[in-house]
Structures are given as structure tokens and as C-alpha cells.
Amino acid sequence: MSLAQYVETLNLLGDESRMRLCALLHQRELCVTDLVKVTGLSQSRVSTHLGRLRDAGLVRDRRHGAQCFYGLAADGMPDTVRALLEEAAQGKDPTLLGDRQRLLELESDRREGGAADDLERFYSPGRSWQSLALGIAALLELGDVLDVGTGDGAAAASIAPYCRSLTCVDVSPRMVVVASARLASFEHVSVLEADGHALPFGAAQFDLVLTFHTLTFAAEPTRVLKECARVLRPGGRLVVLCLDEHQQQEVTARYGERHPGFSPRTLRGWLSRAGFSVERAAVSCREAKKPHLQVVLATAIKPRSSNSRSYTDDQMHRSRGPRSPAG
């Protein structure tokens, strides 16, 4: 190296932020997003520092899909520079120790997130949880369906093509307007303003009832479940999604939730007391991001009583043409 190069390298590494980045990149590749999370620096500052380090030959980059990963170019740097960065990467400075600890936590969260995190992190065209859900929905053959607490109708829109009839209810007039607009193209779908505590339908009107993230907003969740049992036909199924019991009310309360989730055991007991035969009630997924809220999936069947009308599979899954839920 020439004298000018020595001076340039010393000036480059004389910045605390760039030293932190080099220490983090010493043993592994990281993307800008990871470096921002670990260091707390702004994305623009991280990108600028990485650009200067790359131009000086201290950092290399590699593109993977839409993301660019950076690593330390240790093989091409002078021995003295490499030794300095190795010492920084393993040193006891509080700032560098804090960076290493946050990186370990980030990687631990990513491992716990499993496949969900990989799907979100590595982009390829069209590869998303939404497209996966739509593909799975195409396997369905549904009868007369009731969606209790439909919200903006996003979930209902995914299953609408596969229902003989779909009735969506929500207590919020604003959500009813939004869902009606979203579902307007489906002639066999109706959207009504109604309260899940007192559904405006006669008994035994539906083959399937959905309550997706509805119970935590309900004043009396057990009453909602009893109403779902009442409007289901014998042999019909109820599907429940809700947050698992948690201690993160400061996160969920801002969205209007009344209850901090329900455990699988609690849901199983409520469903049994409402007259259902419970098929399953268990945590189905865990969010990769903090505070790592979990979601419980429960499915239950309304038993066929001896004095109830018997519904065969052919009757439960008749043609998918439009039909009134009360028919």
C-alpha cells in the first residue's frame, strides 16, 4: 500500500459507525435491513457507509433476489487492517458487545420464525402467503357459509368462489360498507350489519360458520359461540381463529380487542359447553416478529341429534350456484 492508501484506510476506519459495521460483517453476510435493526442507524446512513467500504475494497456485496447481502472482504485487505477488524469483532467494547448481542437475538428470532420468516425474507415473483392461501382455498367445496365478524371482507373474498352461498356479518357499519364493495362481484354473497351475540337467522341455516379473529372483540365470547351453534345445521362445522392468551395488551388493545386472547384449553371448554364436538384446538402459528403473538385454530362439529334432520354429504355439498342461506 502507498502512503496515500494508508491514510485513506485510516480515515475510513476512523468512523465509529463504519467500524461497527465491519465488526458485524466479520463472520457473516448481512443485508442492510439486518444492519439497521442491530445498530439502530438509519437505513440511509448504513447504505452510505457500506458504499464507501465497498469502494475501498473492504466490503463485498452479493445480490439475492431483491436484497443485497454484504460481507467483509478479508482476503483482499492488508494484514494489519484484517488484524484490527478481527480484534474489533471479538473485543469487549460495550457498543460492539451490544451489537453482537442484538445480532444473536435477531438470528434467534429468525430461527424460531422458521419457514414463515424464510418466505418473507427471500423474495421471488408471486411467492407469498397470500398466493399460497388462495391456492389452498381452491381445494375447497363449501355449502352455505356464515362469516361472523367479516371485517373488510378480505378472508371472505378468498373463499367466496367456493361457497354455494356466503353470508358476511359485522357489527361495524363502516366495515359493512368496505366488505360490500370488496364482495360486490359475487352474486351469491350478502353482507349484513349484525351482532354475533344475536345473529338474525333462524336455527340450522348454515353448513359452515367462520369466526376469524372475532371472539377477542366480543363482549361475551361464549354467547357468540352459542349463537354459532344455533345457526349451524347438524353435522355443520365451526372454524375459529383467535390470538392465544398473552400479556401484550398494550399491543392489541389499540386495535379495539377486549380480551388478551384465549388459550386452546379455554376455547375447547367453551366449545364443548356450547354443544360442539371439538375436533381440535391448538396453537397453529407464532408470529416471527416481537412480541411473538400466537394464533389458536379450533374446529368443531355440531352433532347430529337423533331427532334432527339428517344431512348427507351430497346434501351438504350441493351445486355451488347462488342460494339464499335461509333456503
For residue 260, give the nearest of 284, 285, 236, 242 by alpha carbon. Answer: 242
Residue 170, phi then psi, degrees to nearest 5: -150, 145
Q: Considering the domain delimited by 129-316, tell me its CATH architecture.
A: 3-Layer(aba) Sandwich (3.40)
Given CATH 1.10.10.10, say whether it is the number of domain 3-121. Answer: yes
Angle at 48 between CA 47 and CA 54, to 5 degrees: 85
For the chain, the average pLDDT equals: 84
CATH 3.40.50.150 spans which residues of the chain? 129-316
What's the pTM?
Answer: 0.61
In tens, the pLDDT along 171-230 reads: 999 999 999 999 999 999 999 999 999 999 999 999 999 999 999 999 999 999 999 999
DSSP string, 83-136: HHHHHHHH---HHHHHHHHHHHHHHHHHHHHTHHHHHHHS--TT-SHHHHHHHH
pLDDT digits (tens, 9 = 90+) for 114-131: 544 555 555 567 767 778
260 within 8 A of 231, measured Cβ to Cβ = no
The pLDDT tens digits along the chain (327 residues) read: 667 766 777 777 788 888 888 888 887 888 898 899 888 889 889 999 998 888 888 888 888 767 788 988 877 777 777 788 888 878 788 888 888 888 888 777 666 555 445 555 555 677 677 788 888 888 888 999 999 999 999 999 999 999 999 999 999 999 999 999 999 999 999 999 999 999 999 999 999 999 999 999 999 999 999 999 999 999 999 999 999 999 888 888 888 889 999 999 999 999 999 999 999 999 988 876 778 889 999 999 999 874 444 333 333 343 334 443 333
- Alpha carbon 77 to its chain's center: 43
- Best CA proximity match to 59, nearest among 103, 106, 95, 23: 23
**Where are the CATH 1.10.10.10 domain residues in the chain?**
3-121
Strand 189-193 and strand 206-212: the pairing is: unpaired
CA distance 82 to 76: 9
